[in-house]
Structure 1
Amino acid sequence: MSRVVATTPGLYPLPDWAKDELADLKGRQKEDLISGDEGEDLTAAYDRARAEVVERQQEAGLDRVVEGQLRWDDMLAHPLAVNDAVETRGIVRYYDNNNFYREPVVTGDLSATGDVAAELDAVDVASEQLQGVLPDPYSLADLATDEHYGDEAEFLDAVADFLAAEVRECPPMETLFLLAPSLVTEPPGEAGERVSEAIDTVAGAADAEVVLYPYWGALTEKAHAHVLDADIDALGYDLVSEADDNLYNVQEYGTTDDVALGLVDGQNTLVESPDTVRERVEWFEEGTPNEDFGTVYATANTELFYLPVNKFEAKLDALAEAAAAGPEVTA
């Protein structure tokens, strides 16, 4: 029987109290923010919010705890948006939804900022429970504009090296989720082998279990084959958006020894019951009888910042309760 581990892909909604308070502080510190200085008051507010979401994950009983990425106003583009070699310009649509981010334009050589490491350092949990969250290199390159490297392949390699450098600065952690929606929304096609190598670069920098987590659909067969060549511990499957196609990929081409399954909807306020979550794990295992998964990461299918706080918290509870009960069938 697979070991079911309850976790999330991070990017949480701000606690209700923090929305107005942070907006007010950002308005009063606009000039400091432009220069990259958040100021003590803003930092303290984020610290308080981070502690609150970490405590809420522990209260729910999640097996892995994320930092929450509450500072990531630019969503997955955040690691570039805070880099000195990047200019943030106009507002652009974040994938195909009603969220927007500042376009990160790379104008110089990318190097590590230590921003993500500092966030993880501030999380007060044991390393065996800690989970890091980053975009995969292909998705981050897809969200950005290159005005420095001048070549798509060179730019992807530079982004991968940058993310690897960020990972090496992080504290010890058990798991690293690389969020990879662009692998679904903009399949890499002939660049698949290079994408696999870029993922290898980031995964190789992590002393942790590395989960590559595509979502908003299923990978093309070619993309699926290429990412399986990457040195990852688990590949993710969005069972909310495209369950049948994701199951087909595993049935036809196999998968990693461990898998991550998107079992609750990160964009819909309907809260799934723990029974529903368990049934989705069972459905996937029954449909892949030739696979023997060591670990199933039970998670939301997308980032969670889309949800109202009460619905987000209810989904944490459902994931944790389902994982504690475990699936009732063996693969």
Structure 2
Amino acid sequence: MTELVATTTGLFPLPDWAKSDLSDLKGHQKDDLISGDESEEIVAQYDRARSEGIDRQRSAGLDRIVEGQYRWDDMLAHPLCVHDNVETRGIVRYYDNNNFYREPVITGDLGFDGDMAADLETAAETVETDALQAVVPGPYSLADLATDEHYGDDLLDGVTDFLVDEVGAFPDHATLFVLEPSLVEEAPGDGEDERASEAIDRLAGATDADVVVHTFYGALTEKVHAHLLDADVDAIGYDFVTDHEQNLYNINEYGTKDSISLGLVDGQNTKVESPDTVRERVEWVSENAPGASFDTAYVTFNTESFYLPTSKFEEKLDALAAAAKTEVEA
């Protein structure tokens, strides 16, 4: 039997109260925010959002709980945008959608920062280790989102070193979700695909947790998928909302890991999937990948979820948790 684990990809939408309160506070403290500093009032608002988000995940019945990444205004680029050796400049479109982030320009070595670890430490105060899930941008995606004025050909290595150090400072956690949309959106070419896999392998070695590399916004090319399988991770994630046929083809043609992450709930559409619909999608993957046998299937969003209204997001949390209460044949 395959164990179903209900979880999320992190990057939650801010609750409605936080959007207005934080907008007012940030408007008064614009200069501090540009330099990466946050006032006690802003920190308190994010702490409240994180606490409420953890409580909501717990009440929904999720198996893994994240801290929510409420501070990540720049989405996956956040760890760079708050770094001392990164300048934020103009506004850049975030992949192919209507969200934008500040352009992070790397101007010096990406030394240890500890920003992500600090947020996870706060979450770990109330979340048990066997339920705590960390979320990080993948090294290839983070390098892709950056503008480099320092590393040159060593950019991917520099970003990987940075992430390895950051993850190494995390409190004990059960699962690490590594989000790698750029492997789909800006697929690496010959040679670079192998380097991307090696970077992910290095990052996975920084934690004792189960490591899930979650890809989305479509399907990996066959060659990128084949190289990704070489990384020593526990599961690869597939966006079955955007392109279920090609993702299924990759699994059947090249195999996958012993566990899998199933992106079955739409993180960009307000239509709420029922638990029955989610279960049917789990069963569809199982029935149509007859050669695959999974120890664990992480049932989750296909993308980040910050695009959603809070009410719809919470309904989707409930659907994920309810859908994972049954086991499926391996």
TM superposition score normalised by structure 1? 0.98
Distance (Å, rounded) in 1 between the aligned partners of 2:34 and 2:141:
25
Q: Which residue of 2 aligns with 1:254?
A: 255
Distance (Å, rounded) in 1 between the aligned partners of 2:86 and 2:223:
32
User: Does the residue aligned with 2:325 lie in a helix, a strand or coil?
Assistant: helix
Q: Return the match for 2:137 from 130, 135, 138.
A: 135
Alignment of 1:150-169 (within 5 A): 150-151=152-153, 154-169=154-169
Alignment of 1:53-132 (within 5 A): 53-123=53-123, 124-132=126-134
Q: Gaps (5+ residues) in structure 2?
A: none
User: Does the residue aligned with 1:57 lie in a helix, a strand or coil?
Assistant: helix
Task: Tell me by how many angstroms 1:31 deviates.
Answer: 2.0
Matched, 1:229 2:210: no
Q: Which residue of 2 aligns with 1:196?
A: 197
Matched, 1:50 2:53: no
Task: Tell me by how many angstroms 1:287 deviates.
Answer: 1.1
Task: Tell me by how many angstroms 1:34 deviates.
Answer: 2.4
Distance (Å, rounded) in 2 between the aligned partners of 1:269 and 1:161:
37
User: Does the residue aligned with 2:211 lie in a helix, a strand or coil?
Assistant: strand
Q: Which residue of 1 aligns with 2:179?
A: 179
Write the deviation string for residues 148-177 of structure 1: whole angstroms up to 9, x where unpaired: 0122xx100110110010000110000000
Write the deviation string for residues 46-66 of structure 1: whole angstroms up to 9, x where unpaired: 100110011000000000000
Distance (Å, rounded) in 1 between the aligned partners of 2:35 and 2:147:
21
Distance (Å, rounded) in 2 between the aligned partners of 1:34 and 1:10:
24
Q: Do the aligned partners of 1:261 and 1:297 also contact (CA within 8 Å) in 2?
A: yes
Q: Please tell me the residue identity of whatever aligns with 1:24.
A: D
Q: Do the aligned partners of 1:278 and 1:326 also contact (CA within 8 Å) in 2?
A: no
User: Does the residue aligned with 1:299 lie in a helix, a strand or coil?
Assistant: strand
Q: Which residue of 1 aligns with 2:304?
A: 303
Q: Do the aligned partners of 1:189 and 1:222 also contact (CA within 8 Å) in 2?
A: no
Distance (Å, rounded) in 2 between the aligned partners of 1:205 and 1:59:
31
Task: Tell me by how many angstroms 1:313 deviates.
Answer: 0.2
Distance (Å, rounded) in 2 between the aligned partners of 1:8 and 1:75:
15
Write the deviation string for residues 96-121 of structure 1: whole angstroms up to 9, x where unpaired: 00000000000000112100000011
Task: Tell me by how many angstroms 1:310 deviates.
Answer: 0.5
User: Does the residue aligned with 1:325 lie in a helix, a strand or coil?
Assistant: coil
Q: Which residue of 2 aligns with 1:23?
A: 23
Distance (Å, rounded) in 1 between the aligned partners of 2:58 and 2:94:
30
> Structure 1 runs of 4+ off > 4 angstroms?
none
Q: Which residue of 1 aligns with 2:273?
A: 272
Q: Which residue of 1 aligns with 2:6?
A: 6
Distance (Å, rounded) in 2 between the aligned partners of 1:274 and 1:325:
11
Identity of aligned residues (%): 66
Distance (Å, rounded) in 2 between the aligned partners of 1:70 and 1:170:
18
User: Does the residue aligned with 2:324 lie in a helix, a strand or coil?
Assistant: helix
Distance (Å, rounded) in 1 between the aligned partners of 2:73 and 2:36:
14
Distance (Å, rounded) in 2 between the aligned partners of 1:96 and 1:172:
35
Q: Please tell me the residue identity of whatever aligns with 2:107.
A: T
Task: Tell me by how many angstroms 1:35 deviates.
Answer: 2.8
Tell me the number of residue pairs that the alignment of Structure 1 and Structure 2 aligns.
327
Task: Tell me by how many angstroms 1:29 deviates.
Answer: 1.4
Q: Please tell me the residue identity of whatever aligns with 2:36.
A: G
Task: Tell me by how many angstroms 1:325 deviates.
Answer: 2.6
Distance (Å, rounded) in 2 between the aligned partners of 1:26 and 1:50:
18
Task: Tell me by how many angstroms 1:326 deviates.
Answer: 3.1
Write the deviation string for residues 31-82 of structure 1: whole angstroms up to 9, x where unpaired: 2222322011111111001100110000000000001000000000001001
Q: Please tell me the residue identity of whatever aligns with 2:140.
A: Y
Q: Do the aligned partners of 1:7 and 1:319 also contact (CA within 8 Å) in 2?
A: yes
Q: Please tell me the residue identity of whatever aligns with 1:259.
A: I
Distance (Å, rounded) in 2 between the aligned partners of 1:150 and 1:283:
45
